[in-house]
Structure 1
Amino acid sequence: MGIRSYRPYTPGTRERTVSDFTEITRSEPEKSLTYSVHRPKGRNNRGVITCRHRGGGHKRLYRVIDFRRNKHNIPAKVASIEYDPNR
């Protein structure tokens, strides 16, 4: 696993290094575990902006995650570690 080092733009990033997760991550997320979410971006039912300074940003896919973890006595294996833009 590689190590990514940062350039010393600030004193906090001078000695900063983080792990590079390219060996344990997949390039694309599992399609059956993702879906798109409608974000209104500050607009009402007519499409008129009613709340300013909302919206923009990159389009994100929602990842389906089982947070309950109540399945006992079922063998499981970690296939990959994926990035979740919503958390």
Structure 2
Amino acid sequence: MALKKFKPVTAGTRWRIGNAYAEVTTNVPEKSLLETKKRTGGRNTSGHMTMRYIGGGHKKKYRIIDFKRNKKGFEATVK
């Protein structure tokens, strides 16, 4: 796996090196295994604001992963 070097904008990122996930995540995730993650915006079920300063942001997706792997009787292909 390749390494990614950060620009020395601050003292903390001067010697920082991280993983470059370009080799791993080049494909678009399977649409049938994605759900939209709903955000509350700091509101409860009644719609009243219970937490301040929460809202906006980028839309997020939730990946459905079967950790138990207990399904039987069908073929699967690994891409």
1:50 Cα deviation (Å)?
4.4
Q: Deviations over 1:25-72 (max 9, x none)?
A: 13421101001132221235675544322222111011101222457x
**In percent, how many aligned pairs have the same letter?**
44
Partner of 1:24: 24
Partner of 2:56: 56
Answer yes or no: is 1:65 the counterpart of 2:65. Answer: yes
For residue 32 of structure 1, give the secondary structure of its aligned residue in structure 2.
Answer: helix
- Runs of at least 5 residues in structure 1 that lack an aligned partner in the other structure: 80-87
Structure 1 13/38 Cα, relative in aligned 2: closer, same or farther at 3 Å? closer
For residue 35 of structure 1, give the secondary structure of its aligned residue in structure 2.
Answer: strand
Using structure 2 for the length normalisation, give the TM-score. 0.64
For residue 32 of structure 2, give the secondary structure of its aligned residue in structure 1.
Answer: helix
- Aligned residue pairs total 76
Of the two structures, which has the highest relative contact order with CA contacts closer than 8 Å and spacing of 6 or more?
A: 1
State the Cα RMSD in Å: 2.9
For residue 23 of structure 1, give the secondary structure of its aligned residue in structure 2.
Answer: coil
- Runs of at least 5 residues in structure 2 that lack an aligned partner in the other structure: none
Using structure 1 for the length normalisation, give the TM-score. 0.60
Distance 2:51 2:18 in 1: 38
Distance 1:41 1:27 in 2: 31
Answer yes or no: is 1:39 the counterpart of 2:52. Answer: no
